[in-house]
Structure 1
Amino acid sequence: MRQRRRAGVQKLVFWVFLIIGVGIGSLMAINHIFLGVALFIVLTAVGWILSSAIQVADQWEKAIVLRLGKFKALAGPGVFFMIPFIDSVPAWIDQRIITTQFTAEQTLTKDTVPVNVDAVVFWMVWDAEKAALEVADFASSVSWAAQTALRDLIGSTMLEDLLSSREDIDHQLKKLMDTRTEPWGITIQNVQIRDISIPRSLEDAMSRAAQAERERNARAILGQAEQQVAESFVAAAEMYARHPAALQLRALNILYEGLKEKASMIVVPSSLADAANLGSLLGTVAAEKLIEHNLQDGQSATEGMMTR
């Protein structure tokens, strides 16, 4: 796109001077044919020289201008001019964020497990002069530096940490790559590990280990719950031992609730019955039952009379 735009501007300038040269040359050729031809040639040459001197850089790029082979300046964005045959533009540096994918295949972790890792790096050129003068192909250099840094980091990391701490790994990888690309005028914006593949046999073993770990945690939680319940029972037993009356009241409450809900037969030791005065308790429950029964009978009789 940039080459087409540059060629379009150059052609426009050349054709403008060519048309002007044809027009002026034709007018001059009416009286002086040789002067008209010479003027046409001069204007055409000027148009060709000016067209080669005009360059256009996009908003996101910088042009490296060399004068007689030596760095002269950074040009752009927009239109800029060069001295024909003296200045040259060997490189156009794109300063937008660029995405590069890279992989590390069959790389051994610190615990000697082979893994395949896919990652992506987001980077940009912040110093176009360094990117053009310090390294021959900075885009390929970033890709190779990323792959090498990833292999070095995998080799110094345990598999468990590699799988469970991806954010930390991304941060370490970004820091490691920054130190390698900073002399080239390139900064690393972000690094993200997309996928980590391990051998199938190891996946099965890790799945079984994870399942065993979950079962162990579940049993530990169940044991803690049983321990807490047992401690509550012990505390209650100690309190009842210190306060026998509380135990008797608790027993009376249990019997009362059982007899109140439905007619049941409960066998109670005579010692507990005497101590808890169950006779009065049973009498109270029976009286409540009798009153409730009489009320129901009276209500039924009233409804029958109203029906008749």
Structure 2
Amino acid sequence: MIQYPTFPSPSSRRGRGLPFNGLAAALAILCFLIGVGLQLAIRQIGFVIVGAIVGAFVLLSLKMCNSWQRALVLRAGKIQGLRGPGLFLIIPFVDQISEVVDQRIRTVPVHTRQTLTRDTTPVDVDAVVFWMVHDPLRAITELDDYEGSVSMVALTTLREVVSSSDLAVLLEDRRRIDDELRDLIEVKTREWGVTVQAVEIRDVQLPDNLQDAMSRQAQAERERAARVTLASAERQVAVELAAAAKTYEASPIALQILQINRVFEMNKNRGTTILMPTTMADAMGNATAFAAAVQAAAQTDRDTTAE
């Protein structure tokens, strides 16, 4: 079954209008109450009607934007400009707030499925694009849906970069790929009044068979490194043994004393039986006798010195 690329579906905020204007509502209620008060004081119903009309005019004409919002005002279909942040006035039934733009940084998830890299490896790539609107007027007037356009551009650019990169680069050099994606997307969206802050690749998923092959390759590399290390250690041991052999060749007595020490170390545990050739035992006896003679001669010298 053919798997087509997954297009992102950003959570659109274009339908979000202006926040509730509590100040306009309070002024409208105040105007109506003033009209009611004047009607009770002067006994004329006209003040209530005038107060209601003024309150409705205030409620319809006094608008408010948050610090991160900009409102596009149209007057009889013609652009009057952007309004906000804060309070601003419009002419009821003549001016129209066409759209409210959020200038905060937004995120768009981008997913590509079964995209071939340059070395023909199918991968699934997940990325996140951080962007913001720096020119609301151009973003609204030049594009029908700037959020959807940014999403589509991010998806196509991600597929282009993945197709032109090797698998090893995607796995090992993500920072450079992120910078390249950001630059390419920003070149396309800058004319729309949109700035791309950053692009981050979250995950690169490989096929199961390729993951198994890479795991076996990594295991083989570790085994090869272990064998090389073992061979190097054995070579160093051989060099040291050759040097020790030359030393023992020059001094047979030293070799025999070494043999005695080895036998002593092996016989530390009681109940151990050691079998050795007769020639080796004779050599150890000679070495023992020689060591005893040397010790006796040293003792005789000390006694002579004392007298």
TM-score by length of 1: 0.71
Shift of 1:145: 1.8
1:16 to 10, 30, 54: 30
How far 1:234 moved relative to its partner?
4.9
Name the residue aligned to 1:5: 20
SS in 2 for 1:56: strand
Cα deviation for residue 151 of structure 1 reads 0.5
Matched with 2:158 is 150
Cα 1:55–1:205 shift into 2, 3 Å: same
Q: Contact 1:66 / 1:88 at 8 angstroms: preserved in 2?
A: yes
Does 1:283 find its partner at 2:298? no
Alpha-carbon distance change, 117 to 259 in structure 1, aligned in 2, over 3 angstroms: closer
Aligned to 2:261: 257
Deviations 1:83-118 (A, max 9, x none): 434543222222222222120011111111222222
1:207 aligns with one of 201, 215, 219:
215
- 2:147 match: 139
Output the aligned Cα RMSD. 3.7
Cα offset, 1:232, TM superposition: 3.9
Q: Is the 8 A contact 1:66 1:89 kept in 2?
A: yes
SS at match of 2:20: helix
Q: Per the alignment, do residues 171 and 223 of structure 1 end up closer, same or farther by CA in structure 2, a change over 3 Å counting?
A: farther
Within 2, Cα distance between the matches of 1:19 and 1:102?
54
**Counterpart of 1:298?**
none
Which range moved further: 152-161 or 196-205?
196-205
Give the fraction of aligned pairs with identical amino acids, expressed as a percent.
38
Spell out, residue by residue over 1:38-75, the C-alpha distance to the aligned partner (whole angstroms, 9 max, x if none). x5444433332222111111233222334552242341
Which residue of 28, 31, 47 corresponds with 2:55?
47
8 Å Cα contact 1:61-1:95 kept in structure 2? yes
Native 8 Å contact 1:2 1:58 kept in 2:
no
Please give the secondary structure, in 1, of the residue aligned with 2:217: helix
Equivalent in the alignment of 2:108:
100
- Per-residue deviation at 1:140? 1.5
Mapped partners of 1:17, 1:250: distance in 2:
117
Q: Superposition pairs for residues 33-112 of structure 1, below 5 Å?
A: 37=46, 39-68=47-76, 69-76=78-85, 78-112=86-120
Ranked by relative contact order (alpha carbons within 8 Å, sequence separation 6 or more), the top structure is 2
Within 5 Å, give how 1:146-295 maps onto structure 2. 146-234=154-242, 240=246, 245=250, 247-248=251-252, 250-258=254-262, 262=267, 278=287, 280-283=289-292
> 1:73 is aligned with what amino acid?
L
Other-structure match for 2:11? none
Instruction: Name the structure where helix makes up a greater proportion of residues.
Output: 1
Q: Which runs of 5+ in 1 are unaligned?
A: 288-308
Task: Report SS of the residue matched to 2:144.
Answer: coil
**Partner AA of 1:177 in structure 2:** I
Q: Secondary structure at the match of 1:219?
A: helix
Amino acid at match of 1:72: G
SS at match of 2:143: coil
- Contact map agreement 2:138 2:192 (CA 8 A) in 1: yes
Instruction: Say which SS state the counterpart of residue 165 (structure 2) adopts.
Output: coil
Segments of structure 2 that go 5 or more residues without pairing to the other structure are 1-15, 268-272, 297-307
CA spacing shift, 1:70–1:222, aligned 2, 3 Å: same
TM-superposed CA distance for 1:172, in Å, is 2.7
Q: Aligned partners of 2:88, 2:136: CA distance in 1, in Å?
A: 17
Q: Which has the larger radius of gyration?
A: 1
Q: Aligned partners of 2:252, 2:72: CA distance in 1, in Å? A: 99
Per-residue CA deviation, residues 138-184 of structure 1 (Å, 9 max, x unaligned), is 22222112211210111011123223333333333233323333333
- The count of residues paired between Structure 1 and Structure 2 equals 273
Distance 1:26 1:232 in 2: 116
Match of 1:301?
A: none
Give 1:266 deviation, angstroms: 6.2
SS at match of 1:5: coil
1:253 Cα shift? 4.4
